[in-house]
């Protein structure tokens, strides 16, 4: 699993998770924007940066680093990048550094150079295996990344239930559930997407993002074709026929899009037919045409 990219995706889609880690009110996220920023002098990029979206000069910006492999040069790099950034941009906010480790054994402290700065209030080191007690949704998703395979499914199920209870239906809830499922897919590479979706109770296809996208795309194409066909016919009968054909082609395009998306995610033809409530004989030609193309 590309751990740092997963974490940055979590922070981007659900920034409250970062402030939950710091034991700060999750609403702090409303005053920040998660971004990355290039320091031009040496052409490097600060990948995880929570930057204030207000003018409050007492509100810090957070430089975030996710480190799951031992790295003797980590602190040399972090603080070199930080201070070059300060020199180049001179932001009007105080700085904070947050480093996230799976455990203490991964850290390479380099106390001879950094002990004072690492022990200051400006630096926070988080060890995920030491997080205890009740956590919010964001911390729960973060802990899922380091959860063992034996508990991953149960943890993911609880997180999905929690997301369904506290998040509005769309689009955030769909994005978070998709993110949880993606983490489990990475953790259980031996399982198919179909098996994982069933284990997580994600068999209601209409709630998933790819269904919504496929439905929208198919509907738009069908309506467009219906309008074009109707304009080609000068008579009222021709316009009505064009609209009807367009709607039918739109429904067929919706079905085709969903079938192909499910197939790309690893679903077998029988499972696709079961989910969509279609005969297998209608699913197979779509897959065969796609393979021929």
The pLDDT value given to residue 83: 92
Q: What is the mean pLDDT of residues 87-116?
A: 92
Tokens of 44: 């490097």
Residue 160: pLDDT band by 50, 70, 90 thresholds? very high
- 227 and 192 within one domain: no
Q: What is the mean pLDDT of residues 158-181?
A: 87
The pLDDT value given to residue 78: 92
Number of helical H runs and strand E runs in the chain: 12, 5
- 225 and 132 within one domain: no
Phi, psi of 21 (to 5 degrees): -60, -35
- 93 and 67 within one domain: yes
With 80 as the cut, is the pLDDT of residue 211 above it?
no
The pLDDT value given to residue 288: 83
The residue range of the domain holding 163 is: 147-203
Residue 58 counted as domain residue: yes
Residue 142 counted as domain residue: no
**Range name among 7-11, 56-60, 174-178, 187-191 with the lowest pLDDT average:** 187-191
**Strand 95-101 vs strand 123-127: parallel, antiparallel, or unpaired?**
parallel
Shortest CA distance to 61 belongs to which of 79, 49, 45? 49
Point out the domain boundary residue: 136, 162, 187.
136
Classify 147 as helix, strand or coil: coil
**Range name among 63-77, 90-104, 211-225, 271-285 with the lowest pLDDT average:** 211-225
Quote the pTM value. 0.67
- 230 and 128 within one domain: no
- 70 and 8 within one domain: yes
Rg over CA atoms, the chain: 25
**Domains of the chain: total:** 3
Helical ranges in 58-206 per DSSP H: 74-89, 111-118, 137-146, 149-166, 172-187, 193-199
Residue 43 counted as domain residue: yes
CA distances from 51 to 55, 93, 97 (A): 11, 9, 12
CB-based contact 236:264 (threshold 8 Å): no
Point out the domain boundary residue: 203, 222, 241.
203
Residue 5: pLDDT band by 50, 70, 90 thresholds? confident
- 250 and 229 within one domain: yes
> CA–CA separation, 103 vs 105, rounded Å?
6
- 57 and 41 within one domain: yes
What is the number of other CB atoms lying within 10 angstroms of the CB of residue 49? 18
């Amino acid at each position: 699993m590309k751990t740092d990219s997963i974490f940055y995706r979590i922070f981007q889609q659900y920034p409250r998770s970062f402030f939950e880690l710091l034991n700060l009110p999750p609403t702090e996220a409303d005053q920040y924007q998660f971004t990355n920023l290039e320091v031009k002098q040496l052409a490097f990029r600060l990948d995880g940066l929570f930057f204030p979206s207000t003018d409050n000069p007492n509100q810090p910006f957070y430089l975030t680093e996710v480190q799951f492999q031992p790295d003797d040069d980590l602190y040399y790099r972090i603080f070199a990048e930080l201070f070059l950034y300060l020199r180049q941009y001179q932001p009007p906010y105080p700085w904070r550094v947050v480093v996230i480790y799976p455990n203490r054994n991964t850290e390479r402290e380099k106390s001879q150079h950094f002990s004072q700065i690492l022990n200051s209030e400006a630096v926070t080191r988080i060890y995920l295996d030491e997080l205890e007690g009740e956590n919010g949704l964001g911390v729960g998703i973060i802990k899922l990344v380091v959860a063992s395979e034996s508990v991953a499914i149960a943890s993911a199920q609880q997180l999905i239930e929690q997301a369904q209870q506290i998040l509005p239906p769309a689009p955030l809830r769909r994005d978070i559930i998709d993110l949880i499922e993606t983490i489990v897919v990475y953790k259980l590479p031996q399982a198919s997407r179909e098996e994982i979706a069933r284990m997580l109770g994600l068999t209601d296809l209409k709630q998933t993002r790819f269904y919504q996208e496929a439905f929208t795309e198919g509907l738009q194409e069908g309506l467009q074709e219906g309008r074009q066909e109707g304009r080609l016919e000068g008579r009222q009968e021709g316009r009505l026929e064009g609209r009807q054909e367009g709607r039918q082609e739109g429904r067929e395009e919706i079905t085709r899009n969903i079938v192909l998306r499910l197939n790309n995610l690893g679903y077998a033809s029988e499972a696709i037919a079961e989910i969509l409530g279609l005969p297998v004989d209608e699913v197979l030609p779509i897959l065969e045409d796609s393979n021929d193309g």
